C-alpha cells in the first residue's frame, strides 16, 4: 500500500503527496472551500470524502465506458487516492451546455438560457492573474501545450461532456457546465487529472432546477453540505 512520504503541494481543495513510487502521487481531498480566487473561504463538511468518491467513480466510468485515459490508479481511503504523477497542462478547460456563471455576465443572458451547441473555453491557470480566459492562439503562442495535445484535449473534453450529460440525466441532474484539467505522464500520455465533483461542475436538479453544487457556497444559498450529499446519494444510492 502506498504511503504519504512528503507533501509536494497544497492547493485550495486538495493536498498532493509524494509516495514510494516516483511515477505516482497521493491526492488528499480537503473540506476547505474557496471562491472568487480564494477571497471567500469556508468549509463544506464532508466535502473531501464526497469529492474523492465521486471523482474516482466518474473517472473509472470515463475510462471504461468513454475511452478517456485518466490519472486515477486506486482509492486508498475516504479522502486519499493514488494517481499517476503528471505535469499539469496550465489550462482550465471549461465546457458549457447552458448559460450560467461568468458566461451569463459576459453575454448578458439569463442563467438557464439554452445554448445551440456546447461551448468550450480555456483559462490560463494562474491564481495571481485570476485565471484569465485565453484562446487557441494564446495557447500556441505561449507554448502552454502542443497543437496535437490541444486538439486531443478538445476531443476528450467534448467526449467527456457527451458521456456525463447522458449519465447525469439518468440521475435527474442537468450538467450545466464544468471545468477539467489535463496532465501529461512521464511516458508522454495525455490524461484527465484533477477532479470531477460539485466543486468543479454546475449540477441543477432536472425538475426543480435546484442548485446541487458549489454555487450554494459561492452565493450563500445555504446547505451546501446537503447539496453535495444529494449528488452522492443519486450516484451511489440511498445508503449514502
CB-wise, 19 or 182, nearer to ligand TMP?
A: 182
Number of residues that bind ligand TMP (CB under 6 A): 11
Pairwise CA distance, residues 236 & 190, whole Å: 29
From the list 57, 71, 26, the residue with the least C-alpha distance to 197 is: 57
- Give the one residue of 47, 177, 193, 217 binding ligand TMP; rule: CB under 6 A: 177
Strand 133-134 vs strand 114-124: parallel, antiparallel, or unpaired?
Answer: antiparallel
Pairwise CA distance, residues 65 & 223, whole Å: 33
CB of 173 to ligand TMP, least distance (A): 13
CB-wise, 5 or 115, nearer to ligand TMP?
A: 115
Identify any residues that bridge with 202 across adjacent strands, giving them in sequence order: 177
CB-wise, 190 or 212, nearer to ligand TMP?
A: 212
CB of 115 to ligand TMP, least distance (A): 13
> Does 7 help bind ligand TMP (rule: CB under 6 A)?
no
CB-wise, 76 or 121, nearer to ligand TMP?
A: 121
> Do the beta carbons of residue 172 and residue 234 sit within 8 Å?
yes
Pairwise CA distance, residues 235 & 168, whole Å: 9
**Length in residues, the chain:** 240
CB of 148 to ligand TMP, least distance (A): 25
> Does 224 help bind ligand TMP (rule: CB under 6 A)?
no
- Give the one residue of 102, 113, 189, 240 binding ligand TMP; rule: CB under 6 A: 102
- E strands, 30-71, are 32-35, 40-43
Pairwise CA distance, residues 238 & 226, whole Å: 14
Binding-site string for ligand TMP from residue 72 to residue 101, where x marks contact by CB under 6 A and - marks none: ----------------------x-----xx
- Applying CB under 6 A, the span of 3-11, 41-49, 76-84, 174-182 interacting with ligand TMP comes to 174-182
CB of 7 to ligand TMP, least distance (A): 22
Instruction: Name which of residues 178 to 217 contact ligand TMP (CB under 6 A).
Output: 178-179, 200-202
> Residues near 136 by Cβ (< 8 Å), separated by ≥ 6?
122, 150
> Do the beta carbons of residue 95 and residue 120 sit within 8 Å?
yes
Pairwise CA distance, residues 111 & 199, whole Å: 18
Pairwise CA distance, residues 4 & 10, whole Å: 13
> Does 14 help bind ligand TMP (rule: CB under 6 A)?
no
> Which residues of this protein are in contact with ligand TMP, per CB under 6 A?
94, 100-103, 177-179, 200-202
Amino acid at each position: 500500500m502506498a504511503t504519504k512520504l512528503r507533501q509536494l503541494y497544497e492547493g485550495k481543495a486538495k493536498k498532493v503527496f509524494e509516495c514510494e513510487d516516483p511515477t505516482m502521487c497521493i491526492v488528499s481531498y480537503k473540506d476547505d472551500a474557496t471562491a472568487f480566487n480564494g477571497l471567500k473561504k469556508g468549509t463544506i463538511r464532508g466535502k473531501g470524502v464526497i469529492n474523492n468518491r465521486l471523482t474516482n467513480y466518474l473517472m473509472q466510468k470515463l475510462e471504461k465506458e468513454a475511452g478517456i485515459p485518466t490519472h486515477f490508479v486506486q482509492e486508498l481511503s475516504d479522502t486519499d487516492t493514488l494517481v499517476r504523477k503528471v505535469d499539469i497542462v496550465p489550462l482550465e478547460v471549461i465546457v458549457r451546455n447552458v448559460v450560467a456563471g461568468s458566461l451569463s455576465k459576459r453575454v448578458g443572458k439569463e442563467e438557464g438560457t439554452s445554448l445551440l451547441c456546447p461551448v468550450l473555453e480555456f483559462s490560463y491557470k494562474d491564481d495571481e492573474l485570476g485565471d484569465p480566459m485565453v484562446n487557441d492562439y494564446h495557447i500556441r503562442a505561449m507554448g502552454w501545450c502542443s497543437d496535437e495535445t490541444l486538439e486531443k484535449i478538445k476531443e476528450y473534453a467534448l467526449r467527456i461532456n457527451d458521456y456525463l450529460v447522458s449519465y447525469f440525466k439518468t440521475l435527474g441532474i442537468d450538467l450545466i457546465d464544468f471545468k477539467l484539467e489535463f496532465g501529461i505522464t512521464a511516458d508522454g500520455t495525455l490524461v484527465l487529472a484533477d477532479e470531477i465533483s460539485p466543486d468543479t461542475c454546475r449540477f441543477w436538479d432536472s425538475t426543480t432546477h435546484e442548485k446541487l453544487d458549489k454555487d450554494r457556497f459561492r452565493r450563500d444559498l445555504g446547505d451546501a453540505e446537503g447539496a453535495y450529499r444529494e449528488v452522492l446519494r443519486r450516484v451511489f444510492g440511498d445508503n449514502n
